[in-house]
Amino acid sequence: MFKLIPRENVSPVLSLLGPLFSVGLTMIVGGILFYFLGVDPFAAIKMIFWDPLMSETFSTYSIPQIFIKGAPLILIALGLSVGFKANVWNIGAEGQYIMGAIFGASFALSLYPLESIVIFPAMILIGVIGGCLWSIIPAFLKVKFQVNEILVSLMLVYVAEQILALASLGFLRNPDGAGFPGSRNLNQYTSASNAEIIVGTGIHLGVLLSLLMVIFFYVLLFRHSLGFKIKLLGNSPKASGFSGDNSNKLIFLCLTLSGSLAGLAGIMEVAGPAGQINIDFNVGYGFTAIIVAFLGRLNPIGIFFAGIVMALTYVGGELTQFMLNLPAAAIQVFQGMLLFFLLSFDLFVHYKIKLKGNK
Amino acid sequence: MDLSEINFAVLVASLIVASTPLVLAALGELIVEKSGVLNLGVEGMMIIGAVTGFIVGVETGSAYIGMMAAAMAGALLSLLFAFIILIMQANQVASGLALTIFGLGIAALMGHPYTGVKSPQISTISIPFISEIPVLGTMFFQHDLIVYLSLISVLVIWYFLNRMRAGLILRSVGEDHDVAHSLGYRVVTIRFLAITFGGAMAGVGGGYLSLVRVPQWTEGMTAGAGWIALALVVFSGWRPFRLLIGAYIFGGITILQLNLQAIGVNINIALLSMAPYLATILALVVISMSRFRGNRGAPGCLGRSFVKIT
């Protein structure tokens, strides 16, 4: 049999290899899955990972799309990663993302058709507050009554989805929309539109912000004492207590920080690529971001690359849907598989494995 | 609105049907957690059970064969989780989430051709004599086999955990795996078994959902039932009878809001649909408040990896 020996220091080479290995393995096992779905595995894998970047027909559209889809993933995953390090599990980012969008859009649409330059920044701020407020609920309950934050934050996703339905069919419905569900299109409201910053690509302010946030979180986690306190809380809650850190404050901070970022991602999306509040506004970024956080090894730089890879599977997945008629759910299976491989590989990062001799 | 349109006896009977998937899945998770493992993949195992049960049920024409297939599918998926957390020592929270994401995806893939297909009928078994008692008979004694099985499982699991040696061993593994290991119990094997049982129960719960409760296959049809089952375990303080009561309360809220929607009460449907989720949060708060700081019944090693160090 095998024997596990804990490593004294986490191997940096292996911890980098893990994500690469997992992506590779996912391609192989995913290929087998595609084969059984009656799709040529090589064509499908090439279309998901290669064509969006390299194909002449698709890449001009695909490459900016990768950044557009990657931005919310990176923003949300950055926030989540801080909590995950501290063993605080916000898995309701999807709900906070929805609430950020609803809050921001409600504010902007209530002022329609007033034009002013203050509307846009105020709308962003209110979006962030919306996401933050939604995460304050699990944060408060966790800190005050020790209620499990995993369950509360998740339940609130379903509540947020109902509020989204309420908004798109009711209080935010476009009065000039001939009764169709969905709000006014924010892209047609100059003061609130999160317009593209590079003409013709669709790349918007959120993409830029996601890059800035990577740097901000890198500094926070590796160059600021708060980052150390958060890691300490996760690795050794007792030591954290002895060093005088207030664990409740840190837990509250972790949850609301991730909620705020999810809210930011939500308002950026609704005012930009999505354009309007509608029933199907949320597409699961909040859940995929959990995978992104792990794929990036809870490290900001890693999360940036992980977000790009995951966005690639989204864009490539859409391509395979159109070109090869592959069901949309195949990509979800793909993403779940990736997370399995990644988590399993952690064994080699944290332990040395020795063959036991016959004694 | 006319509340007299709601027949109380029928309401209670449908409440029991609505709660049964929750009872089954939560009982499974109770055993898993008692062994010290937190499996957040209940939702994923339920939906795999739902889709497999439905497909097999439709193809064979028997809801019971479908339900058995659902149990096997749930157990199979849970083995994946067991392997990752017990052998590969992965983080349990993250692995459970992965299981849910993966399960939802696979289920959507498998179920696609079966959307809108009618499920086979399940026969109800009226218990002789007592099913003819007015009101009470309709409420409790005219159900299908699975409902009775879920009630028997509550009893059996209570007996197992509190009166049997094997149950005691399971609990000791959950309380302190290092001590249990040094006493010579096979921690990993016991947890493997517990996780598989939990998977099978979640699978049956899912199968019941798609074959009896709804009965139809739609993508994402579990709609958080697996998560509510997880919440029920916490709510019950890891006790089977409280779990049953909790499940019936949640089932009651769901049925009540559906009935209110049906008779056209002047409350927005979206607001009514939120009710079960809000009730779950409220229940968690109440239970955490009342036993604040005290022993909340959670197994000592819940969620911690076990590494043999010898």
B33/chain A closest Cα distance in angstroms: 15
Is residue B58 predicted with pLDDT exceeding 50? yes
Query: Within 13 A of A229's CA, how many CA atoms are on the CB side?
Result: 17
Nearest to A191 by CA among A127, A128, A111: A111
Residues of chain A neighbouring B98 (CB-CB closer than 8 A) = 291, 336, 339-340, 343
Is residue B164 predicted with pLDDT exceeding 60? yes
Q: What is the pLDDT, as a whole number, of residue B28? A: 95
Mean pLDDT over A56-67 rounds to 84
Nearest to B201 by CA among B86, B73, B62: B73
- Whether A349 has its CB under 8 Å from any CB of chain B: the answer is no
Is residue A271 predicted with pLDDT exceeding 70? yes
Top residue of B97, B272, B304 to mutate, by most chain A CBs within 10 Å, is B97
Cis peptide upstream of residue A41 (ω within 30 degrees of 0): no
Top residue of A87, A314, A339 to mutate, by most chain B CBs within 10 Å, is A339
Top residue of B79, B95, B102 to mutate, by most chain A CBs within 10 Å, is B102
Higher pLDDT, A328 or B101: B101
- Whether A248 has its CB under 8 Å from any CB of chain B: the answer is no
Nearest to B29 by CA among B11, B42, B13, B17: B42
pTM beyond 0.95, yes or no = no
Is residue A216 predicted with pLDDT exceeding 90? yes
Residues in CB range of A245: below 8 A, 6 or more apart: A229, A232, A233
**From the CB of residue B145, how many other CB atoms can be counted at a distance below 10 Å?**
14
Is residue B6 predicted with pLDDT exceeding 70? no
Question: Using CB atoms and an 8 Å cut-off, which of residues 47-76 of chain A contact chain B?
Answer: none
Is residue B294 predicted with pLDDT exceeding 50? no
pLDDT-derived band at B2 (thresholds 50, 70, 90) equals low
Are the Cβ atoms of B224 and A158 closer than 8 angstroms? yes
Q: What is the pLDDT, as a whole number, of residue B5? A: 59
Give the CA diameter of chain B: 69
Give pLDDT tens digits for B35-57. 999 999 999 999 999 999 999 99
Higher pLDDT, A75 or A150: A75
Q: What is the pLDDT, as a whole number, of residue A192? A: 81
Are the Cβ atoms of B270 and A337 closer than 8 angstroms? no
Percent of chain B with pLDDT over 70: 95
Q: Is A246 helix (H, G, I), strand (E, B) or coil?
A: coil
pLDDT-derived band at A359 (thresholds 50, 70, 90) equals very low
User: Is A104:A270 a contact under the CB 8 Å cutoff?
Assistant: yes
Residue of B105, B284, B292 lying closest to A329 (CB–CB)? B105
Residues of chain A neighbouring B268 (CB-CB closer than 8 A) = 166, 170
Give pLDDT tens digits for B235-279. 888 899 999 999 998 888 888 888 887 777 777 788 888 888 898
A94/chain B closest Cα distance in angstroms: 14
Residue of A6, A151, A159 lying closest to B230 (CB–CB)? A151
Number of A/B CB contacts below 8 angstroms equals: 143
A114/chain B closest Cα distance in angstroms: 31
Are the Cβ atoms of B227 and A335 closer than 8 angstroms? no
| Six-digit token string for A217 | 């979180």
Nearest to A76 by CA among A179, A186, A187, A213: A213
- Whether A111 has its CB under 8 Å from any CB of chain B: the answer is no
Distance CA A151, CA A163 (A): 19
Is residue A247 predicted with pLDDT exceeding 50? yes
| Six-digit token string for B90 | 């992965």
Domain parsing of chain B, residue ranges: 3-226
Element (H, E) at A286: helix A285-295
pLDDT-derived band at B4 (thresholds 50, 70, 90) equals low
Is residue A250 predicted with pLDDT exceeding 50? yes
Across all residues in chain B, what is the average pLDDT? 86
Q: What is the pLDDT, as a whole number, of residue A176? A: 84
Highest average pLDDT, of B4-8, B69-73, B180-184, comes from B69-73
Residue of A4, A151, A339 lying closest to B234 (CB–CB)? A151
Question: Using CB atoms and an 8 Å cut-off, which of residues 196-225 of chain A contact chain B?
Answer: none
- For residue B225, give the chain A residue with the closest CA: A155
Are the Cβ atoms of A343 and B90 closer than 8 angstroms? yes
Is residue B293 predicted with pLDDT exceeding 50? no
User: Is A164:A102 a contact under the CB 8 Å cutoff?
Assistant: yes
Give pLDDT tens digits for B137-151. 777 777 888 889 999
Highest average pLDDT, of A198-202, A228-232, A344-348, B245-249, comes from B245-249
CATH class, domain A38-326, is mainly alpha
Give pLDDT tens digits for B79-98. 999 999 988 888 888 889 88
Residues of chain A neighbouring B97 (CB-CB closer than 8 A) = 91, 290, 339
Sign of CA dihedral A30, A35, A36, A38: positive
Give pLDDT tens digits for A165-207. 999 988 888 888 777 888 888 888 888 888 777 777 778 888 9
Give pLDDT tens digits for A285-309. 998 899 899 888 899 999 999 999 8
Query: Within 13 A of B61's CA, how many CA atoms are on the CB side?
Result: 0
**Ramachandran category for residue B217: left, alpha or beta (phi over 0 → left; psi -120 to 50 → alpha):** beta
Give pLDDT tens digits for B197-245. 999 999 999 999 999 888 888 888 888 899 999 989 988 888 999 999 9
Partners of residue B125 on adjacent β-strands: B143
Element (H, E) at A353: strand A351-355
Residues of chain B neighbouring A329 (CB-CB closer than 8 A) = 104-109, 112, 219
Residues of chain B neighbouring A90 (CB-CB closer than 8 A) = none
Domain parsing of chain A, residue ranges: 38-326
Give pLDDT tens digits for A112-126. 888 888 899 999 999
Residue of A37, A155, A343 lying closest to B94 (CB–CB)? A343
Distance CA A147, CA A150 (A): 9
